[in-house]
Structure 1
Amino acid sequence: MLATIGFVTVLILLVLLASRRVTPVVGLVGVPILAAIVSGHGASVGQYVTSGLQQTAPVVATFVFAILFFGLMTDAGLLDPVVNGVLRAIGTNPTRIVAGSAVLAAAVHLDGAGAVTFLVTIPPLVPVYERLRMDKRVLACVVAMAAGVMNIVPWGGPLLRAAASLHVPVTDLFRPLLPVMAVGLSFVFATALWLGRRETRRLAAMPASIEDATVPGRARSTIGESRLTEDELVLRRPSRFWWNVLITVMLLVAMVAEWVPPAVAFMVGTVLALLLNYPDTAMQRIRVDAHARSALMMATVLMGAGAFIGVMKGSGMLDAMAVAAVRAVPAGGGSHIPVLLGLLSMPLSLLFDPDSFYFGVLPVVAQAAAAFGIPGVQVGQAALLGQMTTGFPVSPLTPSTFLLVGLTGVDLADHQRFSIPFLLATTIVMTAACVVLGVFPL
């Protein structure tokens, strides 16, 4: 009964978000609370929500201060040379821009942190896409694909959870997957090139009056440099550019090297950005107010996600869903568990958060597979092909998803509809590569 309520809850939430019948915060808070009441856990809802909020609080703080920091740096003009430099390097060819977005995301995600990847990659690229009138869903998609494949790295959360859950060495899980990751990244870059060419054709079909510079072969005079409004010029601080660069580099290094938590890094960075660029207290209030709306909107969504996860975990619905999913495997499919799990791993990210899956579902699946002579390490490798790897950037159960859509300005439902087919295809390709390369049998 509890598992059924859990599956229905997730399904209702996904339908409501995809159809835009409710805002994300209404769905994330209201739906699980109603489910908890129906399942007889209404009296403990407050405790569940509080637990979820405590887990999400660091991400909320990171996002709020990241919005303020990058907003202040944009006001001061830090990104102007970056945008112009990127445009000069990759031109106005959408194919090169999209492919470059995927390469940048893959490189940055070497640290294994999705939030850091999105915070470092997205802000410099969004102005490029906006200026060229490119579809920002493409940006969100290719960054998600590249980060998803790279999230299999041995210091990433999914692989560490899998190793701990199955009690196997990290290297035993990762080494066979290294060539599989190479296949996955090759598919990601090929897809980015295809999406870029599609953008080129779309922009070429647009009327020339919309933006001549967006179409290859047309005049580039409007793209060479940023064209700033008078209000933007008032806020620019060109004399402090290198100080702003130093602050930004120090912040990113401290965050990537894990010297301090991301929330602390952005808090300190925001304080330094305000003191350096806008020392007047009245101006500081104005600049914070200017970026407060977008920060508050996404903070409420992230807290809503925390409430959702807290209720689903605390009520036991996630655990019950895990057991039910394992029992649904047909008896004749036992020998094919790695392939089946690999194919289902990405969609399972929409149903299970990483802790619930790797510590709740995975051990049960591994135990069932052992009865058919399937090593547990193969079950873990199959799960890593999509569960919170390619699946994490679209899952409503991970705060990073909301960070990605918030930074790109893409609606969550639009992002999911556009990106899920490509992310699922990436998992399918890697599953096929596992079979071909002998990582696990068909």
Structure 2
Amino acid sequence: MALTSLAIIAVAYWLGLRERSKIDAEKLAAYKLEIASGEAVPTVQVTWRLWFNAALTLLLMVLLIAEVADLLVLFMVAFVIALLVNIRAIGDQQDLIKRQAANAVPVMILVLAAGVFTGIMTDAGMIQAMADAALAVVPEGWGNLVPLFTAILALPLGFFMSNDAYWFGVVPVLAESASHYGIDATEIARAGAIGQILHSMGPTSAPLWVLLGLVKADLGDFQKTALRWGVPVSLAYIVFAVLTGAISIA
């Protein structure tokens, strides 16, 4: 993961240099001066509300980990408390909800659709059939390569499938098949996690839809650029995992 992070930083640095070369030198100098003067970053007043919001967020995380109540209930209660504390006027509260609804509604629809998709594929047995068919490609004498095959398979599956369908439907089947070759399930989980880079660029990634909505970008245009770098970095991730022994091939 550390080596892959360095590879991602290297790609980001190179892309930054490439984009910087397209900016007019005078404008770039003006931006640097604005950043150095502190005018580019608005000052934030530290009030009791800031500390209250931080404490509320921390408490919410603790309650989520402790599983005190359902995730939906905890988030709704925390949202209401934060809304009442930070925005007193009802009209302002309604305006805030209206502004954020445009980003929230598509994500809700996506999550519901992903749940339906996961349920159909899991209960119909299609996910297990897909995993079995994929493993059938591996020759009998190549059982030691199941972790590597899982890592390679994780790239397209992670991109097209929701995390629920992938982690609860596909990975357990792969882990069960790998156990017949004496391969620990933890190793299959590490191999499966490699697909998360491409998952963040896929159509079933809810945060991606929020981001695209905020920056007014098209999914297709984003993927044309992102996949050009995401695929090589993911392949490098596989190479690093093999070289460090995170996944075995022997």
* Contact 1:313/1:319 (<8 A) preserved: yes
Partner of 2:123: 314
Deviations 1:394-442 (A, max 9, x none): 438x99821244246465552562534323321332123218xxx6353
* Contact 1:298/1:402 (<8 A) preserved: yes
Query: Is it true that 1:349 corresponds to 2:163 in the alignment?
Result: no
Against the structure 1 CA distance between its residues 219 and 284, is the aligned structure 2 distance closer, same or farther, given a 3 Å change threshold?
Answer: closer
Q: How many residue pairs align between the two structures?
A: 232
> SS of the residue aligned with 2:245?
helix
Match of 2:183 among 376, 399, 405: 376
Aligned pairs for 1:261-300 (under 5 A) are: 262-300=71-109
> SS of the residue aligned with 1:279?
coil
Inter-partner Cα distance in structure 2 for 1:298 and 1:360: 29
> SS of the residue aligned with 1:329?
coil
Question: 1:186: how far off?
Answer: 2.7
Query: Is it true that 1:423 corresponds to 2:234 in the alignment?
Result: yes
Deviations 1:308-346 (A, max 9, x none): 112211222112112212222123423433433344444
Partner of 2:34: 222
Against the structure 1 CA distance between its residues 399 and 393, is the aligned structure 2 distance closer, same or farther, given a 3 Å change threshold?
Answer: farther
* Contact 1:346/1:390 (<8 A) preserved: yes
* Contact 1:278/1:284 (<8 A) preserved: yes
* Contact 1:322/1:361 (<8 A) preserved: yes
Query: Is it true that 1:252 corresponds to 2:57 in the alignment?
Result: yes
User: Share of identical aligned residues, percent?
Assistant: 22
Query: Is it true that 1:365 corresponds to 2:178 in the alignment?
Result: yes
Deviations 1:330-387 (A, max 9, x none): 23423433433344444443455111123323212322x2xxxxx222xx34423331
Match of 1:326 among 130, 135, 140: 135
Against the structure 1 CA distance between its residues 335 and 285, is the aligned structure 2 distance closer, same or farther, given a 3 Å change threshold?
Answer: closer
Against the structure 1 CA distance between its residues 279 and 331, is the aligned structure 2 distance closer, same or farther, given a 3 Å change threshold?
Answer: same
Partner of 2:248: 440
* Contact 1:385/1:431 (<8 A) preserved: no
Provide the TM-score with structure 1 as the length reference: 0.45
Inter-partner Cα distance in structure 2 for 1:276 and 1:262: 21
**RMSD, aligned α-carbons:** 3.4
> SS of the residue aligned with 2:24?
coil
Provide the TM-score with structure 2 as the length reference: 0.74
* Contact 1:390/1:427 (<8 A) preserved: yes
Aligned pairs for 1:151-230 (under 5 A) are: 184-208=1-25, 212=27, 215=28, 219-223=31-35, 224-226=38-40
> Residue 440 of structure 1 aligns to which amino acid in structure 2?
S
> Residue 256 of structure 1 aligns to which amino acid in structure 2?
M
Inter-partner Cα distance in structure 2 for 1:200 and 1:339: 34
> Residue 200 of structure 1 aligns to which amino acid in structure 2?
L
